[in-house]
Each structure stands twice: as structure tokens, then as C-alpha cells.
């Protein structure tokens, strides 16, 4: 599937980190300054403090960075997510689940997840 080679992330909040283009349509998302506390045995939406506008015909997937655990936080897992582009801005939140018994706070500036932006196109050549 072809990826979107560039994207515009809009954010004016001082806590936001600019996503880094890893390659093609893959971006690393860094944990914002002052992130939400991930309470034990719950799921929390971490506000990335920016929005993303994708044209119709494109989608994005949020994937965990590295293994399942959030960088440096045992028992905290980024839950994968998928959205389709509508041409309108959408605020980006990362859904993190804490299956442990202790509250956790992600480290600001650490890579939290990957964002893959791709075109909804499948062509089969037989």
C-alpha cells in the first residue's frame, strides 16, 4: 500500500513534541510534556496536543513502539487504533492500557508509538 510521504501536524500547545518522520509514511510519536497519569487497571487517552488532517482516501494506524510495553513502563501497553481520513482535522490521542497494580507516568519526550499513514488502495495484478 502506498504511504503518504508527507503530513501536516498542527499543534500550538507547549507540551507537544513534533512527530519525527522515520521513513515513507511512518512517524514516531513522542510522549508530551506533562502526560496523563496511567492509573492502575485502567485505560487512558494520552493527549498528543496536535491534530492531523488526512485527505479522504488515506488512513492511519497507531502502533506500539518496539514491544508491547510503553517505553520504560512495564505493564503499560499502547492499544493499536485505526482511523480513516475525512479531510477534516482530528486531534490525536494515544490509548494506553495499564494492566499493572501501580499508577504510571510516561517519560516526556520518549517514543510512545508509531503512526503509519497509507492510501486506501489495493490493486491486484493477476
Confidence of residue 124 (pLDDT cuts 50, 70, 90): low
8 Å CB contact between 55 and 8:
no
Q: Can you give the residue ranges of every domain in the chain? A: 9-119
Closest to 97 (Cα-Cα) out of 120, 70, 124 = 70
| Predicted local confidence at residue 102, as pLDDT | 93
Beta-bridge partner residues of 29: 113
What average pLDDT does this structure show over 100-120? 91
What average pLDDT does this structure show over 44-50? 94
8 Å CB contact between 61 and 3:
no
∠ CA 4-17-72, nearest 5°, is 100
| Predicted local confidence at residue 18, as pLDDT | 87
Fold annotation for 9-119: Deoxyuridine 5'-Triphosphate Nucleotidohydrolase; Chain A (2.70.40)
Average pLDDT over all residues of the chain: 87
Residue 13 φ/ψ region, left for φ over 0, alpha for ψ in the -120 to 50 degree band, beta for the rest: beta
Question: How far apart (Å, rounded) are the C-alpha atoms in residues 46 and 106?
Answer: 10
Q: In this structure, what C-alpha cell is assigned to residue 124?
A: 491486484
The predicted-structure confidence for 74-92, as pLDDT tens digits, reads as follows 899 999 999 988 888 899 9
pLDDT above 80: residue 123: no
The predicted-structure confidence for 48-71, as pLDDT tens digits, reads as follows 999 998 888 889 999 998 776 788
| Predicted local confidence at residue 61, as pLDDT | 93
Q: What strand order describes the sheet that includes 73-78?
A: 9-10, 42-53, 89-98, 73-78, 69-70
Entry pTM: 0.85
Amino acid at each position: 500500500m502506498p504511504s503518504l510521504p508527507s503530513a501536516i501536524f498542527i499543534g500550538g500547545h507547549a507540551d507537544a513534541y513534533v512527530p519525527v518522520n522515520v521513513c515513507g509514511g511512518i512517524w514516531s510519536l513522542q510522549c508530551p510534556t506533562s502526560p496523563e497519569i496511567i492509573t492502575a487497571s485502567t485505560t487512558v487517552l494520552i493527549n498528543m496536543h496536535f491534530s492531523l488532517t488526512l485527505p479522504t482516501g488515506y488512513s492511519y494506524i497507531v502502533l506500539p513502539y518496539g514491544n508491547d510495553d510503553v517505553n520504560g513502563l512495564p505493564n503499560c501497553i499502547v492499544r493499536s487504533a485505526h482511523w480513516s481520513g475525512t479531510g477534516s482535522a482530528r486531534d490525536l490521542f494515544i490509548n494506553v492500557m495499564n494492566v499493572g497494580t501501580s499508577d504510571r507516568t510516561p517519560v516526556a519526550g520518549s517514543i510512545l508509538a508509531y503512526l503509519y499513514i497509507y492510501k486506501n488502495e489495493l490493486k491486484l495484478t493477476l
